[in-house]
Chains A and B, each alone.
Chain A
Amino acid sequence: MQRSDYLIRKVLFGLITLAVVVGFNFALFRILPGDPVKAIARSPRLTQEAREKLRVEFGLDKPVFLDLERLKTGDVIGAFDTQFTAYINALLHGNLGISFRSRRAVSEVLAERVWRTVVLVAAAETLSLVLGIALGLVAAWRRGTRADMGILLYALFSWGLPTFFLGIILLVLAQGLLPVGGMVTPGLKPQDGWVYWIDVAKHLILPTLTMAIIYTSSYILIMRSSVMGVLSEDYILTAKAKGMSTFRILRSEALKNAMLPMVTIVALNLAYTVGGAIQVETVFSWPGIGRLMYEAVTMRDYPVLQGTFLLLAVAVIVANLAADILYSVLDPRVKAS
């Protein structure tokens, strides 16, 4: 198929998905029963001024989607002066509302904490990928042997382990050996240089390990079946006939072919990985946006909840798009005309 066609379709789909997510986000918080924005008006935590500011900002005095009154009078532009448009407008300006709890801009809170989650997820995904690919390869090549059985058993078992519980177990086991909470030992600051960063890294070990143990299993299973498929193809027999050693065949013929599907799988998995990040950050008090979401749930801080969800959804959508583009570059069968 033509690569340009493929890409255009994927980008289009990504944009539509984004649009739907934004719309869904809006609907969720305005239309569902227990509409929290209306609750703002009654929230005792905000001052009268703040409440008025919010009302105006989110246009709570205006209709939700479309102003039919104004439409009837021919005022088409005015008809779009609604909560929804205000919402989109605010979004485009990076305005995600104000946290009920901290009274700071949601976008500010997110910006502050997002990189911590990025570091955690990046570390965990990298470790999972490397282990998953290696173990999946071994399991497929040594199919039926004890190595394969062992690896499979591990993968199946960790599939049934809730991420948060594994975190709890590791936390209990590592008491005294590794830091089990927070991001840094209190007192250290970034200005302290190396010491600070090493301390952060130490705090990163347990949460990363927890996620890696869980997510490696899905990569193992996928890589294993991918490699088994590849190793039964005719071109492997051709490679054997050419006199290539098993190691060489695995390296030059099998690996690249088997790893191709992984590109899109990593992106798809991200939708589950962020869920794991929420759990792990909660257990280990890692101050990223996962823990932020947990706190927002506990405190009923709806703007933060809404903003975090939007951010996570957008991130995963964009990541998937990037993966699709990358895949089209890597697989020569998806070519430009």
Chain B
Amino acid sequence: MSLLEVRNLSIDYLREDGTALHAVEEVGFTLEESRSLGLVGESGCGKTTAIQGILRLLPAQGRIVSGEVLYRGTDLFSLSEEEMRKYRWKHLSIVFQGSMNALNPVRQVGSQIADAIKMHEPANNGRQVEARVHHLLDLVGITPQRSRHYPHQYSGGMRQRAMIAMALACSPDILIADEPTTALDVMIQAQILDLLQKLQKELALSIILVTHDLGVVAEMCDDVLVMYGGRTAEYASVDTIFNNAQHPYTLRLLQAFPDVANPSSKLASIPGYPPPLDAMPRGCRFEPRCHRKRAICAEQIPALEAIQPGHYVACPFREDN
């Protein structure tokens, strides 16, 4: 039994007139203990929606249309809201994109972390909770005295680290990090990534890392799921993706990624824009921008095939064919 298995996840957004926009379609993956998965794609490809859906934290217009999220065998989608709440944070926690307001500005940082502990592990007394909070802050490199400070007294990088500390408060099995390094400068980015790696080793944490940055994926992840237009384009181990990518989109992504070993190689950008949700192509989502397309691509949505154990591609005209 896997730690987390997502099957056939489809999520819609309802518009004001009642029509549905398909934000995520038939996405699935497996996550094992102490492994990390990178969820990669351009803005608007549905990766944030997918992970919000997994935790059932979609915005008001979001609808989970189908799928199963099996955490150690239990389908989270079959739970009531109260039951789901017990799983949140305790087993699966999330670090949102670093924003000014992800932490409550009028409460002390320490007390916000303590909240999580008190809620899920009420057996602890005041002193134990405080000790845990200090330990967590220490873990992410923040001096424990600062637990009495307010978020506006923290720098951007510190806030992100505090969010990570808070996410680990109840020792979850799975940490989902949504673009944890975007909006931070490069030095801080490196710090955060190092921290995540260290935590993963020390705490045997499984991480789902949502990002559009392949460099981060290369460093941190064991497996990669490339999304495009709400669907899975390619899903394989990181080695396979970087050395034997098959989907045209994945190939283009890699080409757009600067290669240290070959600095003079030209950076290729992918012409065009990702499809807007209300104007999805009828067939393959990538077809309009694809360099390998055929007539049938515009008509039929390509199925996700396992071309080898653990390597899935959704393109019949992949590299090898």
Query: A contacts B directly in the complex (CB < 8 Å)?
Result: yes
CB pair A257–B104 under 8 Å, yes or no, is yes
- Residues of A within 8 Å of B87, CB to CB, are 243
A235 in contact with B102 (CB, 8 Å): yes
Inside 8 A of B55's CB, which chain A residues have their CB? 241
A257: which B residues are within 8 A, CB to CB?
104-106
**Chain B residues with Cβ under 8 A from A243's Cβ?**
85-90, 116, 119-120
Chain A residues near B57 (CB-CB < 8 A): 237, 240-241
Interface flags for B56-88 (1: CB within 8 Å of A; 0: not) read 010000000000000000000000001001111
With both chains docked as a complex, state the minimum distance between the C-beta of B153 and any C-beta of chain A, in angstroms. 8
Q: Counting CB contacts under 8 A, is A93 at the interface?
A: no
8 A Cβ contacts from B94-108 to A: 94, 96, 99, 101-107
Expressed in whole angstroms, the minimum distance between the Cβ of B4 and any Cβ of chain A is 16
In the assembled complex, B152 has its CB within 8 A of some CB on chain A? yes
Contact with B along A238-279 (1 / 0, CB 8 A): 111111110010001100110010000000000000000000
Residue pair A238, B103 in contact (C-beta under 8 Å): yes
**Minimal Cβ-Cβ distance residue in A for B56:** A240
In the assembled complex, which residues on chain A have CB atoms less than 8 Å from the CB atom of B150?
A: 332-333
Q: Is the CB of B115 within 8 A of A242?
A: yes
A contacts, CB < 8 Å to B: 233-235, 237-245, 248, 252-253, 256-257, 260, 331-333
Cβ proximity bits B103-134 to A, threshold 8 Å, 1 near / 0 not = 11111000000011001100000000000000
Number of A-B contacts (CB under 8 A): 69
Q: Are B99 and A234 in contact (CB under 8 A)?
A: yes
A235 touches B120 (CB 8 A): no
B10 contacts the other chain (CB 8 A) = no
**A242-B115, A242-B119, A243-B120 known; A256 vs B85 contact (CB < 8 Å):** no
Q: A234-B96, A242-B115, A252-B115 are in contact. Are A333 and B105 (CB under 8 A)?
A: yes
A233 to B106, CA, bound (A): 13
Known: A252-B115, A333-B152. A242 touches B88 (CB 8 A): yes
Q: Is B211 at the interface (CB under 8 A from chain A)?
A: no
Query: A223 CB to closest chain B CB, in angstroms?
Result: 16
Task: Report which of A241, A248, A333 forms a contact with B89, defined as CB distance below 8 A.
Answer: A241
Known: A234-B101, A241-B89, A243-B86. A333 touches B106 (CB 8 A): yes
B93 at the interface (CB under 8 A from A): yes
Q: Find chain A residues with CB under 8 A from B104 CB.
A: 235, 238-239, 253, 257
